[in-house]
Amino acid sequence: MKKYIITFLLIVGCTLNAYGNQESQEVQEVTEVAEENALVYLSVEDAVASSFDDTPDWAPPPNSKAPIDGDILTRWSSQLGVDNEWIYFDLGKPKVLSKIIIRWETAYALDYEILASLDNKNWKRLVLMEGQDGVIDEIEFSPIKARYVKMIGLKRNNSTWGVSIWEFEIYGPKSLNPDEPERKTPVVDLTKKKEELAAAIAELKEEPTPMTLEEFHKGVVYTSWTDWELGSVPSDLMLVHLKKIGVKHVAIMAPTYQDAVDSTEIVVHDFEGGDSPTDRAIAHAIQTCHALGIKVLLKPHVDCKDGTFRGDIIGTKAWFANYKKIALRYAKLAQDNNVEIFSVGTELENTSFDAWDAEWRDIIASVRAIYTGYITYSANWTEYIDMPFWDALDLIGIDAYFPLTNKNDPTKEELVAAWEKHADILEKWLKDNDLNKPIIFTELGYVSSDGTNKQPWATLSNPEDQKEQADCLDAALEVLSKRSWFKGMYIWQYFPLERWSPIGFPIRDKEAEVVIEKWYKEIE
């Protein structure tokens, strides 16, 4: 926690505010001496934000009051890619404040200012913070009287993100706020959630049986781009939910990063505030899955920081040397935690052709030397046909974002017909290449909006259409469950914490989840 003590004097009379207007009603400096260290949390009546993150499958619900709800697991996030976004808090009446704590999410402000006002029109800067590093800022200052407090994010730590706050806490001297009820630092009370979790695991506890090549994978992909979520109580409760709807397999994604497609260095951001889950958090999620009788696929990803698709990453000797370290790092984590299946790569289409066959076979052999479970590779739907090293793997993994029709509103029958064609192509490919191996879809997903069947890999801004998302998954299972070589799928995607996703990929509490629950509970 970083602590700042700010001393300032307010100029008496009319001055220019941050927007160039004359101030007629300034915040007031309080000269009365307050009891030392006796602070009270100041309750907030309302909050207003300039914008919200509208990413359809990642953003939190658009709730400006999230930073004042006392729940460290809810947050406000501003529009992506824009500086100078703001949020202000209305205390309901003038109060005396002297301390602010900001608990930042991963998307924090490098530079920001805090302003105060009595009338929500004339604002006085309390403090300018520059070159910050996120996590928690604790700012103390001379007591002032104000009703409104505003934070303006001047510069973001990531140019493609917004700014995001878990909690914004305002405190003042207890003696100068005599009517304010005492309240402890607002953090989520996990006691009840922990009790609920313990009872659920006790009820659902089941030892996972050894994995076989013939079993049907009733899976989902479990995604997090934070260091801590996979190790949290809410994450464990989400895994309990998955168990209840019939999920028997969970693919845990492990994101790693390189700067651009031609970079050779690959890094893991598994530090506090980073966007890779820590090994400890991954291990915790694996152990929770196993306690529930759920088997685990560990699935490393490489993402380009500049946003380029991982399938365009250029293979070189130096890149493969570094990628081998990543593969072995996560293979060891898989072995140490008795993970049942490991994916040696995901959608690295520009590296998986004949020219790099020897490098991939070396990685696979090196993984086998330290990992005793089953091994697959998660090929993009445009990649699997020409890969030369399927014979070295135990299962064929495909991220199966096959286009289905050219319509925005296909019938269920049309979707079934499209999946029959794709199944026939896969079956012929297996036969022609003498590949007597099971196929699993290491990813299969659709957004809940019109036209998702046309480009299943795309995030669309079309109108919401939960039925099309559900029908696409229903059609896939109706067709593929009858093919002997098909051994299941992992639905993209679920998050450890609930997200706002009106038109995104997550299927939690949507029609598609009802479909998946039905199939997963019926398929043997």
Q: How far is CA 253 from CA 148, 227, 397, 492, in A?
A: 42, 12, 14, 11
Q: Hey, what's the torsion of the CAs at 489, 448, 456, 286, to 10 degrees? A: -30
Domain boundaries, the chain: 2-176, 214-522
Contacts of 367 (CB under 8 A, 6+ apart): 327, 328, 331, 342, 344, 375
Q: What does residue 374 show for φ and ψ, rounded to 5 degrees?
A: -75, 150
CATH of domain 214-522: 3.20.20.80
pLDDT at residue 18 in the model: 35
pLDDT in tens, the chain (524 residues): 677 776 543 333 333 333 334 344 667 667 655 555 689 999 999 999 999 998 877 788 899 999 998 887 789 999 999 999 999 999 999 999 999 999 998 899 999 999 999 999 999 999 999 999 998 999 999 999 999 999 999 999 988 899 999 999 999 999 999 998 876 555 556 677 888 899 999 999 998 899 999 999 999 999 999 898 999 998 999 999 999 999 999 999 999 999 999 999 999 999 877 899 999 999 999 999 999 999 999 999 999 999 999 999 999 999 999 999 999 999 999 999 999 999 999 999 999 999 999 999 999 999 999 999 999 999 999 999 999 999 999 999 999 999 999 999 999 999 999 999 999 999 999 999 999 999 999 999 999 999 999 999 998 889 999 999 999 999 999 999 999 999 999 999 999 987 778 899 999 999 999 999 999 999 98
pLDDT at residue 16 in the model: 30
Contacts of 349 (CB under 8 A, 6+ apart): 311, 312, 379, 380, 382, 383
pLDDT at residue 195 in the model: 87
Same fold for the pair 2-176 and 214-522: no
pLDDT at residue 11 in the model: 30
Please identify which residue in the block is written with the tokens 């999946």: 419
Select 2-176's CATH number: 2.60.120.260, 1.10.620.20, 1.10.3720.10, 3.40.50.2030: 2.60.120.260
| Region label for 215, one of left (φ > 0), alpha (ψ between -120 and 50) or beta (otherwise) | beta
pLDDT at residue 307 in the model: 92
The answer to whether the predicted template modeling score (pTM) of the entire model surpasses 0.85 is no
**What is the C-alpha to C-alpha distance for residues 482 and 465, in angstroms, rounded to an integer?**
27
Which of 189, 50, 166 lies closest to 108 in space, CA to CA? Answer: 166
